């Protein structure tokens, strides 16, 4: 079987179109993911505005002593931290754990440090150790040294 000039042109065109389509799809998909991450970040900020103590260093530092409490504030804080670290995991994955890109987009250093008690002393033992990727745990822990 031989390939004619017309067949070769069709094949080349098809391959070229497929490559462009895949690249465009990836860029569009990344744009949609970024918009979704920005929306999630806005939602976290709205929660923090509604319940300002969730971002209070003093309250966060009291986590370890009160994590077994049935107090609504500590229960809310536990859920807030889960939401926050789940978001940060997706965010860091989006940027392939590129510290410069991540820090240029979001002040993760201060955020992680405010909530370090909840990260290092989760309400469920091994929750963070088992629930996140090795890359994410390394990323978080680099700020807690």
Q: How do residues 54-88 score in pLDDT, each as one tens digit?
A: 999 999 999 999 999 999 999 999 999 999 999 99
Residue 5 falls inside a structural domain:
no
Question: Can you give the residue range of the structural domain that contains 84?
Answer: 34-141
Q: What is the pLDDT of residue 11?
A: 42
Q: Measured between alpha carbons, how far is residue 74 from residues 19, 20, 23, 36, 55 in Å?
A: 51, 50, 46, 28, 12
Q: Is residue 115 part of a domain?
A: yes
Which residue ranges in the chain fall short of pLDDT 70?
1-28
pLDDT score recorded for residue 31? 87
Q: Is residue 98 part of a domain?
A: yes
- Does any domain span residue 80? yes
Per-residue model confidence (pLDDT) at position 4:
56
- Does residue 133 sit within a domain? yes
Taking CA 82 as the corner, what is the angle to CA 30 and CA 99, rounded to the nearest 5 degrees? Answer: 45
Q: Per the structure, how many domains does the chain have?
A: 1
Q: Give the pLDDT of residue 10.
A: 56
Contact 97, 139 (CB under 8 A): yes
Rounded-to-integer distance, Cα 91 and Cα 120, Å = 20
């Amino acid at each position: 079987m031989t390939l004619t000039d017309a067949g070769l042109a069709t094949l080349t065109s098809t391959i070229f179109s497929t490559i462009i389509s895949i690249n465009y799809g990836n860029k569009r998909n990344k744009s949609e993911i970024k918009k979704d991450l920005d929306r999630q970040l806005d939602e976290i900020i709205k929660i923090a505005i509604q319940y300002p103590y969730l971002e209070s260093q003093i309250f966060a530092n009291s986590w370890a002593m009160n994590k077994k409490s049935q107090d609504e504030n500590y229960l809310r804080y536990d859920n807030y931290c889960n939401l926050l670290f789940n978001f940060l995991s997706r965010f860091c994955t989006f940027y392939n754990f590129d510290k410069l890109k991540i820090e240029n987009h979001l002040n993760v250093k201060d955020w992680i440090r405010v909530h370090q008690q909840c990260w290092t002393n989760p309400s469920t033992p091994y929750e963070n150790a088992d629930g996140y990727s090795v890359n994410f745990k390394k990323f978080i822990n680099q700020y807690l040294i």
